[in-house]
Every structure is written in structure tokens, then in C-alpha cells.
Amino acid sequence: MEVQQQETIRLGKRCFVGNLAWKTSWQDLKDKFREAGNVVYTNVMRDDDGRSKGWGIVEFETPEEALHAIQSLNGAELGGRRILVREDREDRDVKQADGAAPEAPRAPRGGRGGARAASNGGRGAGRGRGAAPAEGTGESSGLQIVVQGIPWAYTWRELKDMFAEIGGVDRADVVTGYDGRSRGYGTVKFTTKEAAEAAVARFHESELEGRRLAVFIDRYQ
């Protein structure tokens, strides 16, 4: 009998940033994305004449910081334009440009106040009844979990129903792109820390429709 190889989904540390203003430099990009975490590398792609191509790459120390950037900065304003932020799905050969260079990793900082709330363009609009996500304060509430590897057809409703057996589900979101398609991960917020921890213990590394889930406490909500 043929054994089907199970797929483990892991979000990378890099974000693709599109719709950049032509004047935006790699330094501007780094300064903006420091709101979401410890930035180790930024670059704005340029053509042979040195003109910006309108997109760039930001790399963080951890995948969780990259996810936080997608959730909090997609649709944020930079240089007078609303930027598009999503995971970098391609293995790009990123060239050094405009003086950009990797920044030495630093120890995680304390407060990261000022992170913007996510726009509707970067997350599933539907969610369980509840208040909008709070702005990041640098300290986790322990109430929200991140779920990676969910089936592509899942909406916020299926995600919420999946965790109903735990109890105390306040809200569920599935991250989507501007094309409306799921990115294969989302968040679930509970009313108690105990419920969130129970959800991690119950579902982390479990299999769902042929995919293996990665479930962990959201460090930024």
C-alpha cells in the first residue's frame, strides 16, 4: 500500500512588499517594518538604471515576526502609498542594491507599540463575533493562536468550528491575499488562556485533510 507523504507547513521569515513609492529606499522599508519585529535584511529591487521596481523584500529573525508583519502592515501607508505585504513564496535571487545589507540579528526587543491593525485586504473579512484585533503592544495576551497548514478551502467559519470542541472561541480569521484566496494559515482567539493552550496541545502536529497543522500561541496578540 502506498504511503502518502505528509506535508508540514512552515511560514518563512521573508515578506514580499509591493506597491512601494518610487522614492522608498531599503532604509525606509527597514524603519517601517521594525514596527513588526527584528528586521535582519531589507532590499528594494531596482532596474539597471537604478530606478525602483516598486517592490522589495523584508526578512525577520523569526517566522512569527513575518506573520505579524503580514497581519499588521498589509495595507499600511508608506511613502504616501498603501503597501501590499504577503509571504515571499518564491526562492528569489535577491541582489544587493541601494547599499542594502543584512543587519546583524539583535535580541528581541520589549515594547513594539505602534503596529497598525490589519486592513481587510490581507485577512479574511469574515470572523466570529467579537471586537477587532487590538494593536500590538509587544506582550502576548496568550488568548490567540496561529494555525498553519489549514486546508485551502477553509474559511473563518470552518476554522472556528474546528476549535469548537475546545470551547471559548471568540473569533477566527483566515489570512487571504488580494485575490481572495486563502494563504493556508489563520488565527483563532479564545476567551481564556487555558482554552488557547488546550487548543495548541490538542491540534499541534495533528493531520487535517492530508495536511499537518502547526499551532502555536501568537506572540503579538
Mean pLDDT in consecutive groups of 10 residues from the start of the chain, 221 residues: 44 86 93 93 89 91 88 90 84 40 40 33 38 47 91 90 92 81 88 94 91 87 76
Looking at the structure, tell me whether residues 134 and 80 fall in a common domain: no
Contact 176, 124 (CB under 8 A): yes
Residue 62 CB neighbour total at 10 angstroms: 16
Enter the pTM of the model.
0.48
Position 100 scores a pLDDT of: 47
Eight-state DSSP code of residue 122: G
Position 160 scores a pLDDT of: 92
Give, for 85, the enclosing helix (H) or strand (E): strand 84-87
Position 211 scores a pLDDT of: 87
Give, for 58, the enclosing helix (H) or strand (E): strand 52-60
The count of structural domains within the chain is 2
Position 178 scores a pLDDT of: 65
Domain boundary among 87, 113, 137: 87
Mapped onto helix, strand or coil, the DSSP state of residue 164 is: coil
Domain boundary among 61, 87, 113: 87
Position 92 scores a pLDDT of: 42
> Does residue 116 belong to any structural domain of this protein?
no
Position 162 scores a pLDDT of: 92
Position 90 scores a pLDDT of: 58
- Distance in angstroms (rounded) separating the CA atoms of residues 73 and 89: 18
Q: How do residues 26-61 score in pLDDT, each as one tens digit?
A: 999 999 999 999 999 999 998 888 889 899 999 998
- Distance in angstroms (rounded) separating the CA atoms of residues 178 and 22: 21
Looking at the structure, tell me whether residues 76 and 25 fall in a common domain: yes
Position of cell 531589507?
42
Residue 167 CB neighbour total at 10 angstroms: 13
How many angstroms from the chain centroid is the CA of residue 208? Answer: 21
Position 11 scores a pLDDT of: 61
Q: Phi, psi at residue 51, to the nearest 5°?
A: -90, 140
> Does residue 127 belong to any structural domain of this protein?
yes
> Does residue 189 belong to any structural domain of this protein?
yes
> Does residue 33 belong to any structural domain of this protein?
yes
Which domain covers residue 169, as residue numbers? 123-217
- Contacts with 71 (C-beta within 8 Å, 6 or more apart), sequence order: 118, 122, 123, 133, 175, 187, 220
Domain boundary among 71, 87, 103: 87
Looking at the structure, tell me whether residues 150 and 213 fall in a common domain: yes
Looking at the structure, tell me whether residues 71 and 146 fall in a common domain: no
* DSSP structure string for 95-120: PP-TT--PPPP-PPPS--TTPPPPPG
Looking at the structure, tell me whether residues 83 and 127 fall in a common domain: no
Position 108 scores a pLDDT of: 39
Position 130 scores a pLDDT of: 35
> Does residue 18 belong to any structural domain of this protein?
yes
Looking at the structure, tell me whether residues 64 and 147 fall in a common domain: no
- Distance in angstroms (rounded) separating the CA atoms of residues 133 and 67: 15
Eight-state DSSP code of residue 127: -
Burial of 34 (0-12, 13-18, 19+ CB in 10 A): middle
Q: How do residues 85-111 score in pLDDT, each as one tens digit?
A: 988 865 343 433 334 444 444 443 333
Looking at the structure, tell me whether residues 128 and 213 fall in a common domain: yes
Residue 124 CB neighbour total at 10 angstroms: 21
Give, for 65, the enclosing helix (H) or strand (E): helix 63-73
What's 196's domain CATH number? 3.30.70.330
Position 98 scores a pLDDT of: 39
Which ranges of 78-183 would DSSP assign to H, the alpha helix?
Answer: 156-162
